[in-house]
């Protein structure tokens, strides 16, 4: 027993096993093998390393956005002249998603008082008093009641097309300790005083003309200025940190959101973008307000970024997985060799070695063993003659 255990341990530690290989000289198998290996190599080099950058590790971004809109508008309504500046048409003030007013509607309201309105217009606080003969009810509301069915056409602030929006974006990749701003190399105070964003000439200028933003989002300014709308601005950072840091620069994209004001009338539902706000004041000891309904352009600014840099760990992982995939060529060739080619039985005998244990040999009849012995002797004699 001890000798058997010692022999087993000796065989385990001091012997090496290697798989049996068969060299098959067959043009068809050779071509199939090389084609599969070439496809695997193309996948590893082209897709894993070049396209997916499998030799690099990735890091996400943390960013902040500040905006500033500039421009002055002038209106004359019923003989009343008014100047509109940033404090009048930007809501809320200087945030990452400003709403620019292009169609303000002013309505001075008196103090709240009791009014009688039609029963079909009861969107006010009811007092419980109604007159069936006249079809009216008493409500408590600001006087006069707002009438918002008529939208001025053309819009009052068409001059807002020439307003400018300055976007300041700061971004950091904590994993690589990299800090960047959209005020990249070459953008200084002198340049900012004269540049306006242009896809071809000034693609890194952070100052945008409102009319250009609307156009790049595939909207017509005259239409969106009348009923309002929402535009998404995407600032995209795709940085390869194996290159000099100056090549880490933003790209700007513009997308029209929600429904377009150019849709068919039958398809329109809650088109555009609008909201109301009020300015309160005291006059003769009585509280009054000016109600303003704004049809504006809402700008939603989104920042997305990803940085990549060489890392030995993902590189070795990609190489290891690629080497493993090369085994596909062997599997494919074995399937063709053992199941498709005409001489598949011959190749099976070459590839696999069949053995019979002593117990299985003793189970054969003696006549079968003698016949097998004669065949072996005959074959040996023929080979020797």
Kind plus residue range of the DSSP H or E element containing 28: helix 27-42
With H, G, I as helix, E, B as strand and everything else as coil, classify residue 40: helix
d(CA 102, CA 294): 7
Radius of gyration of the chain (CA): 41
Per DSSP, the residues of 287-356 read: EEEEEEEEEEEEEEEEEEEEEEEE-HHHHHHHHHHHHHHTHHHHHHHHHHHHHTSTTHHHHHHHH-----
- Is 99 within 8 Å of 109 (Cβ atoms)? no
Long-range contacts, stretch 217-224, CB < 8 angstroms, 24+ apart: 217/254, 217/255, 217/256, 218/256, 218/260, 219/256, 219/260, 219/261, 220/261, 220/262, 221/161, 222/154, 222/155, 222/158, 223/261, 223/262, 224/102, 224/261, 224/272, 224/297
DSSP string, 182-208: SS-TT--HHHHTT---BTTTBTT--EE
**Cβ-contact 204, 248 below 8 angstroms:** no
**Core vs surface per residue 126-153: b (16+ CB within 10 A) or e:** eeeeeeeeeebbbbebbeeeeeeeeeee
Instruction: Pick out the residues of the known binding site for ATP.
Output: 68-70, 164, 274-276, 293
Beta strand 229-240 pairing with 286-310: parallel
Q: How many CB atoms are closer than 10 A to CB 108?
A: 12
DSSP 105-145: EEEEE--EEEEEEETT---SEEEEEEETTTTEEEEEEESSP
- Report d(CA 69, CA 57) in Å as an integer: 38
Tokens standing for residue 110? 């008196």
Rounded Cα gap, residues 115 and 147, in angstroms: 15
Please compute, for residue 235, the number of CA atoms within 13 A of its CA located in the half-sphere on the CB side: 27
Output the known binding site. 68-70, 164, 274-276, 293
């Amino acid at each position: 027993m001890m000798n058997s255990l010692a022999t087993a341990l000796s065989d385990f530690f001091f012997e090496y096993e290697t798989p049996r290989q068969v060299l098959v000289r067959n043009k068809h198998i050779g071509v199939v093998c090389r084609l599969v290996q070439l496809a695997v190599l193309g996948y590893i080099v082209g897709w894993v390393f070049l396209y997916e950058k499998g030799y690099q590790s990735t890091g996400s971004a943390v960013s902040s956005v500040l905006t500033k809109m500039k421009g002055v508008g002038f209106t004359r309504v019923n003989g009343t002249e008014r100047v509109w500046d940033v404090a009048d048409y930007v809501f809320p003030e200087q945030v990452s998603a400003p709403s620019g007013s292009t169609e303000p509607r002013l309505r001075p309201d008196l103090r709240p008082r009791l009014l009688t309105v039609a029963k079909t217009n009861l969107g006010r606080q009811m007092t419980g008093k109604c007159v069936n003969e006249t079809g009216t009810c008493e409500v408590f509301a600001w006087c006069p009641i707002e009438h918002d069915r008529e939208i001025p056409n053309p819009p009052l602030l068409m001059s807002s097309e020439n307003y400018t929006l300055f976007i300041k974006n700061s971004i950091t990749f904590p994993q690589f300790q990299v800090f960047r701003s959209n005020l990249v190399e070459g953008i200084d105070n002198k340049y900012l005083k004269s540049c306006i964003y242009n896809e071809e000439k000034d693609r890194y200028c952070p100052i945008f003309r409102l009319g250009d933003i609307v156009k790049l989002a595939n909207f017509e300014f005259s239409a969106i200025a009348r009923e309002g709308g929402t535009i998404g601005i995407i600032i995209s950072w795709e940085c390869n940190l194996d290159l000099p840091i100056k090549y880490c620069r933003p790209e700007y994209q513009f997308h029209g959101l929600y429904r377009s004001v150019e849709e068919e009338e039958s398809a329109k539902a809650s088109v555009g973008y609008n909201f109301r706000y009020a300015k309160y004041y005291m006059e003769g000891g009585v509280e009054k307000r000016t109600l303003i309904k704004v049809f504006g352009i809402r700008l939603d600014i989104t920042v997305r970024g990803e940085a990549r840099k060489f890392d030995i760990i993902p590189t070795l992982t990609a190489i290891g997985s690629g080497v493993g995939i090369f085994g596909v060529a062997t599997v494919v060739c074995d399937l063709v060799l053992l199941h498709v080619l005409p001489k598949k039985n011959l190749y099976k005998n070459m590839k696999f070695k069949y053995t019979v244990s002593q117990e299985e040999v003793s189970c054969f009849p003696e006549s079968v063993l003698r016949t097998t012995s004669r065949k072996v002797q005959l074959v040996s004699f023929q080979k020797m003659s």
